[in-house]
């Protein structure tokens, strides 16, 4: 049993949750994730460790309600228990002291990019973060990102806050300004990571993306999470989740993520039916 020690809403469907998991908190590094199973009939879903506190023995999960499991989690409160949390899984993000690092978080992707930005900054790199959201109310963790970065630029699709446009517009401006970027870390929806990778490829700027295929065990045992990178099949849970964005087959990833669309809708229907 893993107890929820804190729970809050960041926007209407995005939640922050601290979970008591001392062993995981002690080991967690930026870029790693856990697999959560809420209860006996639950699915195993991967969530990035957005933060961890060794002393308190807690890890922070930030998640968006997109389907049955995340909706049920969204309804949980402080003091409730989650049956299973396992981790920290995946290869930690590579972090070193560099001249300039650009961290891009799109939507819910701001949560997982946060520890990476902080890590680079603590290592002594200059960090410019670009945060994107559909609209002002959906922008999360701006305060935390300001702390974790040297400079933050915000954009919204509808222009309700910050610059109007996509993170790629902001990034393009930055590149054109001639910023000497050493590496870009982009985490967010697949189309965003793909667009960023496409933009940076002609410039030859190293671009790291964090892939989120469907997973089951998270230990390399099932192969559900296979992605094609540089023409080779990789298991994202053990070989990743970070990969070179210029090498990733995004089209395949997008199709694979939609594998259970029909079943997921059915699951939500039974959830609504049960709560009526």
Ligand X SMILES: Cc1cc2nc3c(=O)[nH]c(=O)nc-3n(C[C@H](O)[C@H](O)[C@H](O)COP(=O)(O)OP(=O)(O)OC[C@H]3O[C@@H](n4cnc5c(N)ncnc54)[C@H](O)[C@@H]3O)c2cc1C
Using the rule CB under 6 A, is 32 a contact of ligand X? no
Q: Which stretch binds other proteins (CB under 8 A): 22-30, 113-121, 188-196, 201-209?
A: 22-30
Using the rule CB under 6 A, is 106 a contact of ligand X? no
Tokens (6 digits) for 15: 């939640």
In whole angstroms, what is the distance from residue 66 CA to residue 43 CA?
14
Q: What is the largest CA-CA distance in the chain?
A: 57
Closest CA to 248 of 228, 266, 223: 228
Using the rule CB under 6 A, is 46 a contact of ligand X? yes
Using the rule CB under 6 A, is 243 a contact of ligand X? no
CB atoms within 10 A of CB 165: 16
Using the rule CB under 6 A, is 172 a contact of ligand X? no
Cβ neighbourhood burial of 12 (10 Å; 0-12, 13-18, 19+): exposed
* DSSP assignment of 161-181: SSEES-HHHHHHHHHHTT---
Contact of residue 70 among ligand FES, ligand X, other proteins, none (CB under 5-8 Å per partner type): ligand X
Determine contact, residues 18/4, Cβ cutoff 8 Å: yes
Of the candidates 4, 226, 240, 248, which one interacts with other proteins according to CB under 8 A?
Answer: 226
Q: Which stretch binds other proteins (CB under 8 A): 86-94, 111-119, 122-130, 181-189?
A: 86-94
State the residues that interact with other proteins by CB under 8 A.
23-24, 27, 37, 41-44, 68-69, 83-89, 216-217, 219-224, 226, 228, 233, 238, 252, 255-256, 258-260, 263-264, 266-267, 270
State the residues that interact with ligand X by CB under 6 A.
33, 43, 45-48, 62-64, 66-70, 108, 111-112, 212-215, 241, 257, 264
């Amino acid at each position: 049993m893993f107890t929820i020690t804190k729970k809050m809403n960041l926007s209407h469907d995005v939640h922050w949750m601290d979970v008591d998991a001392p062993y995981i908190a002690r080991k967690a590094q930026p870029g790693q994730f856990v697999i959560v199973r809420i209860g006996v009939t639950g699915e195993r879903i991967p969530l990035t460790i957005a933060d961890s506190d060794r002393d308190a023995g807690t890890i922070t999960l930030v998640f968006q309600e997109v389907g049955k499991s995340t909706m049920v989690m969204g309804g949980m409160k402080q003091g409730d228990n989650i049956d299973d949390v396992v981790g920290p899984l995946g290869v930690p993000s590579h972090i070193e002291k560099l001249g300039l690092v650009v961290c891009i978080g799109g939507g819910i992707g701001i949560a997982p990019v946060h520890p990476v930005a902080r890590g680079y900054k603590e290592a002594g790199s200059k960090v410019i973060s670009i945060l994107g959201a559909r609209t002002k109310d959906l922008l999360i963790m701006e305060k935390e990102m300001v702390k974790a970065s040297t400079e933050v630029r915000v954009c919204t699709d509808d222009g309700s806050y910050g610059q109007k446009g996509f993170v790629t517009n902001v990034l393009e401006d930055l590149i054109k300004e001639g910023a000497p970027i050493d590496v870009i870390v982009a985490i967010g929806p697949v189309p965003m990571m793909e667009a960023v990778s496409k933009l940076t490829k002609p410039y030859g700027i190293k671009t790291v993306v964090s892939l989120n295929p469907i997973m089951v065990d998270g230990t390399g045992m099932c192969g559900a999470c296979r992605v094609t990178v540089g023409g080779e099949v990789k298991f994202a849970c053990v070989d990743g989740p970070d990969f070179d964005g210029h090498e990733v087959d995004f089209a395949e990833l997008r199709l694979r993520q939609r594998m259970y669309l029909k079943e997921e809708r059915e699951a939500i229907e039974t959830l609504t039916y049960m709560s009526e």
